[in-house]
Structure 1
């Protein structure tokens, strides 16, 4: 039965996710195979979907669209719909997104400087895995 003396149940305010540290907060946004690349390529400025699709090689349309929606919901990119015929849409980084993408740049430098060594390590590891499976 309904007890009129009790206060009504109201929707609780949304609770912000608890982060263990700043890296945890960052990883919540950039987790996903393609998100760091999307952010990196958007540093160039407004970018249309087709340009992103060509820049982020091997990503499926479904996953790219999903990641773009998630990054928009996370407040790091903006989808700009120009309401034109034919339709024109592009994506830009927000101020928060730009600061995050700039924080990823040193990782790109590290990857470039260590690419040959990493390729050798991955080739050796893949060879070892194939031998174990045989």
Structure 2
């Protein structure tokens, strides 16, 4: 998917992203903090390329240090696309709870969020 993603970028941005998305790039080669967009993406892709599971990829991202929550979030998103929702460890998703401010104490848990994701990505009904 990386070559297609690079081709979709505006030409003036391709070179910068091509560097951090190259197969031989390593986060130690970053010239900027990994909270910046391109080193964050490069670090996430590196974590995914150098591991063999969802959990290992996210752990590798966290172990890089720096802006770990951002890099791990991007890594988790990419790893989810590669490995699927079933690859997320239950001990991680089971503890998930998202309180909704102003909703009378409603709290979303992993199944609620998965259902929301399915509804958001379902084909829309044709206009009437």
TM-score (norm. length: structure 2): 0.30
- Greater relative contact order (CA < 8 Å, ≥ 6 in sequence): 1
Which of the pair is proportionally richer in strand? 1
- Which structure has the larger Rg over C-alpha atoms? 1
TM-score normalised by length of structure 1 = 0.30
The structure where helix makes up a greater share of residues is 2
